[in-house]
Structure 1
Amino acid sequence: MTDAPEKIRCDACPVMCYIAPGQTGACDRYANAGGRIVRTDPVVMLTHALDVGHRIVPFALRDWDGDPIPSGPMPADTTVTGIGSGTTYPDYKPAPFIVSSRVDGADMVTVVTEAIFSYCGLKVKIDTDRFLGPEGAVVRAEGEPVGHVTTAEYGSQMLSLGGVHHLTGGSKAEGRVTCAAMLALCNGDAVTLVIDGGSTVTVQAGHPPIVDGRPERRMRVGCGSATIGMFASQWLGLVDEVVVVDDHITGVVSEHQAGRVLGWQPTGIKIKGHRSTPGRYFRVSEPGLGWGGTKLTDPLEILGDWNPKKGARPGLTLLMVSTTGEEYAYYALDDALIPQPRPLPDRLKATVGLIDENCEPSLCTVLFMGGAGGSLRAGVTKNPVRLTRSVQSGITRLTSGGAECYIWPGGGITFMVDVTRLPKGAFGYVPTPALVAPLEFTLPREDYLAMGGHDEVVRSLDDIMANGGEYPTAARLEPWRSDGI
């Protein structure tokens, strides 16, 4: 009887899986190859494409043939990203790759790592006027709470997903589902979210949102008041009154300052709502999935009785339109001063079309947000607070998978990055649960030494390409199983 092959322990994350030969760990990112822990994904190289506006593009983004580096000549500006590099865990050791380079005659160092984030979340911008749910409402995936609705901004609804309390502060199911939903969104996949007291929304970075089964097409051109201001001059002489229906600010051209300046005549119209300033009305309806983000399916519901003493008369014409131009209706007052529907005249079709033309496509934007603090910094320098200060002062440039990051002011290294700017599949996970995101810290070598950097392990790109890192990439080995251990 022969002994079973010995499992070995992977220390690349806090789970510390025991992995049998030919198997991967629970994350599918590390495997046991003949008694040695290896990465299953190659390190991703990036280069700058000067012919496309200096946009960073993947250099090694291709079907992988087992070779951990790209074939052919390496462009001079090639850099190593954190994608596929491995982590600093258990954090006493330097980052997986600390690369020397020369940029415009200056000696530079780039510290490359994949960071494990329990303290991370997503900020999701959904371009829509539709009511998604009340502010503060719980957002769920697969029935588990994964975030909440936050403030509504100009033509967009905002969600906050993830965070340490959902990842590790709730049930195991909540943490697992939160991690899976965040990973999918970060890697460009679609996720369906259900909002308590609101809508079901399918979100995918860079794609239109789908709200209650309806794909959104256009982001509004502006609020009702702004729409009046933009297009009042084009309606002058073609129609007697225009109302732009909007959940936030409904505009009325004859009362609006734009109409007054143009010499628009009073019409005796009455709007049911909270008058703000002339021609601007709040709360004409509850928010919903109808006209301009209201509950309205019939816009006439917001009109009161017309006043003949202030200009109302039989035959007076009225255009009612939403802030995207998707909904519109045309009326004429009868002898009783009641609006009667009429076909939209050709003379007004171009103006409604112009609203639509000026509306940008509705998209979902997903920003990954994390705090690159704690022991992660020890992989960069022996004195971690100096890295924080260097990033905050702009000496050290932080990128994520080659993409520019926004650094929040205040303490720590809190950053945000647009996930569509990273190569596909840049994010990973560990089943603690936590996300794994690539990071690169680039700074002058002189400053790196001054902050107490790990100068003894700085290597050239050629050396890294030839010899790999602490966990080499699995090359031309047996296919990996992905069913865990």
Structure 2
Amino acid sequence: MSDPAEKIRCDACPVMCYIAPGQTGACDRYANDRGRIVRCDPVTILSRTLEQGGRIVPFAGPAWDGEIIRPADAFVTGIGAGTTYPDYKPAPFIVSSRIEGADMVTVVTEAIFSYCGVKVKIDTDRFLGPEGATVRADGEPIGHVTTAEYGSQMLSLGGVHHLTGGSKPEGRVTCAALLALCNGEAVTLAIDGGSTVIVQAGRAPVVDGREEHRMRVGCGSATIGMFAAQWQGLVDEVVVVDDHITGVVSEHQAGKVLGWQATGIRVKGHRSTPGRYFRVSEPGLGWGGTCITDPLEILGPWEAKRGARPGLTLLMVSTTGEEYAYYVLDAALQPVRQPLPETLQATVRLIDENCEPSLCTVLFMGGAGGSLRAGVTRNPVRLTRSVQGRETRLTSGGAPCFVWPGGGITFMVDVTRLPRGAFGYVPTPALVAPLEFTLAREAYVALGGHEGAIRSLEEIAETGGEYATAGRLESWPGGDE
């Protein structure tokens, strides 16, 4: 142990801070405690039976009660565990356990990720920005708009080029934004040529100051297919306005099968197949993700020779049911707005009822390759093959991960499945995420694992770890998995 009065060097990340007594390093994760580097936060242990609320379990101290932690009920996570960096040494905790009678090993670490980012799914029809547009936080570029999905807009944020390939402010802001998003905090993002969006995992997006409430039930064509039978006999024509595919019930296959009569309607836009129109408007914040506020803008003159007649009724509605209007054709075949009949109000409410609440989903994505694998096994490529072959189960803070096929250990995890505050950072800049590799003990040894570093949970509680000085017992988010 160093002189308690002197600064000591922390080797937990490439920054290698010299930390004064009683102070923390640049990451606020490690401190100088009387001449010893300690991890400031306790390692998190998940319990399948603990009720809501956590408790601190002092490691390596006389106050520890072995009954507090039941090994069969507990899972040691990488949250607060410390890192393998600089990776010549075993992971901070390599824990033995018995699961359903089998001898298992869980290798626990906090991994430092320069190759990482988040994929953000925003449930909204609103136009956020053109595909490929730059996404900014505090004026710095941190990602881009990617391909829209069904009822959702998608962002790709972070990545090594933003973290370390640009200016220092860009890297610093990117790291801060990713950290906040992964820890469930709200982040304001501005999209070039588009909107300003407040994103927070598990919460509704706020687009240009307006909180979204509904994710569309489907495109205009799909909405026609779902509800054509509900409208039959109540209205002569229905147009479902949508940025992607606007549907017209009298022309649509669903309407034809039901025997819907032609109405002489004309829709501006690119006709795809009967009753399905592309590009009736530019994308925007209006009806169905278009830029229109008056739905009549998408209609041309009505044609009497094709069925238009005075008194014909028309319902125009968006794909969420939030916008709707009812018209009756006058003697000049001009649509005149009228109050929505009660019978049609029920059908509009049905669209709304079938829309799911708008949410922001944040998936952390990282490449768990490189030298961190050396903290698990002396032959790193064997770990990659074991994870890809599903012999080794990868979790992050106890949450299940999706592992991409192909080379490397590239994974994604839903940040709402982890305990709050699970992610950290180092000012290189890079994110720090918890990882756990669980496999049969025999398989772990065959990988070339650090067999001599395997300890039971009781041993860990008695002796602590290289950095951690306490454990935090938490209930398992989402229940037993």
Q: Normalized against structure 1, the TM-score is what? A: 0.94
How far apart, in 1, do the equivalents of 2:51 and 2:130 lie? Answer: 44
Q: 1:312 aligns with which of 304, 308, 313?
A: 308
**Cα displacement string for residues 223-272 of structure 1 (whole angstroms, at most 9, x for unaligned residues):** 00000000000000000000000000000000000000000000000000
C-alpha contact 2:91 2:376 (8 A) present in aligned 1: yes
Cα distance between partner residues in 2 of 1:175 and 1:70: 44
| 2:29 corresponding residue in structure 1 | 29
Q: CA deviation at 1:465?
A: 1.0
Q: Shift in Å at residue 73 of structure 1?
A: 2.8
Q: SS of the counterpart of 2:234? A: coil
Cα deviation for residue 64 of structure 1 reads 5.0
Tell me which residue corresponds to 2:457: 461
Using structure 2 for the length normalisation, give the TM-score: 0.94
Query: Structure 2: how far apart are the matches of 1:70 and 1:42?
Result: 17
Residues in 1 aligned to 2:56 and 2:195: alpha-carbon distance in whole angstroms:
41
Say how many residue pairs are matched.
465
- 2-structure distance, mates of 1:421, 1:403: 6
What is the distance in 1 between the residues matched to 2:384 and 2:258?
56
Q: In structure 1, what is the Cα distance between the partners aligned to 2:411 and 2:76?
A: 20
The C-alpha deviation readout for 1:352-403, integer Å capped at 9, x for no partner, is 0000000000000000000000000000000000000000000000000000
1:140 aligns with one of 136, 139, 147: 136
Provide the alpha-carbon RMSD of the alignment.
Answer: 1.6
Unaligned ranges ≥5, structure 1 = 50-57, 476-485
Match of 1:62 in 2: 54
Question: How far apart, in 1, do the equivalents of 2:467 and 2:266 lie?
Answer: 73
Matched letter for residue 103 of structure 2: D
The residue type paired with residue 176 of structure 2 is A
The corresponding residue for 2:46 is: 46
User: CA offset at residue 47 of structure 1?
Assistant: 2.1
SS at match of 1:443: strand
- Structure 1 position 63, deviation (Å): 6.5
Q: Distance in 2 between matches of 1:59 and 1:372?
A: 32
Match of 1:214 among 210, 223, 226: 210
CA distance in 1, matches of 2:174, 2:457: 37
Aligned counterpart, 2:334? 338
Identity between Structure 1 and Structure 2 (%): 80
Once the two structures are TM-superposed, the CA of residue 5 in structure 1 deviates from its matched residue by 2.8
Distance 2:468 2:354 in 1: 52
Structure 1 residues 297, 367: CA separation in 2 closer, same or farther (over 3 Å shift)? same
CA distance in 2, matches of 1:337, 1:431: 67
Which consecutive unaligned segments of at least 5 residues does structure 2 have? 472-481
Q: Deviations over 1:259-304 (max 9, x none)?
A: 0000000000000010000000000000000000000000000000
Q: Which amino acid counterpart does residue 388 of structure 1 have in structure 2?
A: T
> Contact (CA 8 Å) 2:464, 2:470: kept in 1 or not?
no
8 Å Cα contact 1:44/1:59 also seen in 2: no
1:410 aligns with 2:414: no
How far off its partner does 1:454 sit? 0.3
Provide the C-alpha distance between the structure 2 equivalents of 1:6 and 1:73, rounded to a whole number of angstroms.
37
Quick one: distance in 1 between partners of 2:417 and 2:41? Answer: 20
Aligned amino acid, residue 198 of structure 1 = G
What is the CA distance between 1:471 and its match in structure 2? 1.2
> Aligned to 2:105, which of 94, 106, 109?
109
In the TM superposition, residue 60 of structure 1 has moved relative to its aligned partner by: 9.3
Q: 1:474 to 1:260 in 2, by over 3 A?
A: closer
Q: Who is 2:290 aligned against?
A: 294
- Give the alignment of 1:116-195 within 5 angstroms: 116-195=112-191
Contact 2:80 2:468 in 1 (8 A): no
